[in-house]
Amino acid sequence: MCADASRLVGANPRGPLRACSLAVRASLTSFIDEAGAPPALVVGLSGGADSLALALTTIDVAARAGIPVVTVTVDHGLRAGSGEEARRVADRAESLGARAVVETVSVEGPGGPEGSARDARRAALRAVARREGAPILLGHTMDDQAETVLLRLARGSGPSSLRAIAPVSRDDDGVTWLRPLLALRRTDTEQACAQAGLTPLQDPTNDIDGPWRAADGSPLRRSALRHAAIPALASALGVDPVPALARTAALCAADDDALSQWASALAASAPPGEEHDSETRHPSLAVSALLGAPRAVRTRALREAARAAGIRALSSAHVDALDDLVVAWRGQGPIDLPGGIASRVGRGAHARIAFVAREVGDPTSPDPD
């Protein structure tokens, strides 16, 4: 039996509903061609237009392929009536043909309400995906992409960060995240829902005067970008900036991929040295190989070696200090990094940058920043 979503979408949808359906079909076809048909699909469903259009078209496409869909609606518990609202969203998903799950989470942490809610939401989605052995589909659109690029530009980010939201990403444990709607606009998802006769929820936390505020009392950054900065850019430039910002993300992704491949080749061309690697197996890189590479490639190779040692979350200051071990060597000692240390070992042609992870609970090493 076809899901009710298939009745609403129809055999030959048109306009924005067709665009959403084709985008979902293309994303799932690509995933299945690479990984095989999954036992289920997990869709993050807040009830807003983006996620509702995604859930509708995913249930339709999956039903025709015989793949069950599990929607996950996260109740952050930050607004009165949020639990009842989440249940209504889940009921709608079940009426469309999905198995609907409501996950209640606790929002707390150092990232503020927006960042903490995002972390809690991702953890809830990951838990369901791991249980189902399924990829996760999210409803990010081109507008979300543009907002993310602007947020990262404001932090002074490089290509690795300005690539922004990837259409496909995989966690270290293999959980896959799919974002089929990145080439579509927010207006497309709104119109797709209208075509299907579905009324999305309006989340007040997305409003510029919503209940959540930044630490300084101003609107949340993404809400301010959405409702003030991007319209102001459109007015000042005389064109819609969203497609150009999304194009920037795509160009940065291509550049970053090329630089990362170069850095991986550089790291692979520097065989383990006798001083540390053969005995303790700590990752290290030959200084002579690094010196001949551009800084953009050199620093990526250093980051990659640090990650191989289990050292992550390096700041720009950490990377600058690592690069100084290569190009501005003045006899400086080991550099403290989040979760470990890096040091220059050996002399002359045998000099290397070696990374050693800090033992968990080691009281003799300073805590990472």
Q: What is the pLDDT of residues 148-181, one digit of tens each?
A: 999 999 888 888 889 999 999 999 899 999 999 9
Report, as an integer, the average pLDDT of 240-245. 96
Residue 281: band (very low, low, confident or very high) from pLDDT cuts 50, 70, 90: low
The C-alpha atoms of residue 113 and residue 183 are separated, in whole angstroms, by 28
Q: 305-353 pLDDT, tens per residue? A: 999 899 988 999 999 999 999 999 999 999 999 999 999 999 998 999 9
Q: 271: which DSSP letter?
A: P
DSSP code for 122 = H
Query: What CA–CA distances, in Å, run from 195 to 32, 101, 139?
Result: 28, 26, 18
What is residue 295's predicted lDDT score, i.e. its pLDDT?
Answer: 96
- Which of 125, 95, 21 shows the shortest CA–CA distance to 65? 21
- Under 8 Å CB-to-CB from 138, ≥6 apart: which residues? 44, 51, 54, 177, 178, 179
Tell me how far apart the terminal alpha carbons of the chain are, to the nearest angstrom.
56
β-pair type (176-178, 136-137): parallel
Q: For residues 101 and 89, give the distance between their C-alpha atoms in angstroms, rounded to a whole number.
A: 10
Beta strand 69-75 with 176-178 is unpaired
Q: Which structure tokens are listed for 220? A: 């949340």
Confidence of residue 272 (pLDDT cuts 50, 70, 90): low
pLDDT at 86 over 70: yes
pLDDT of 198 above 90: yes
Tokens for 157, please give them.
Answer: 């980010």
Retrieve residue 278's tokens.
């053969």
Q: Lowest mean pLDDT: which of 75-79, 163-167, 209-213, 237-241? A: 209-213
Give pLDDT, residue 160: 87
Structure tokens at 364: 């003799």
By CB atoms closer than 10 A (0-12, 13-18, 19+), residue 9 is buried
pLDDT of residue 156: 85
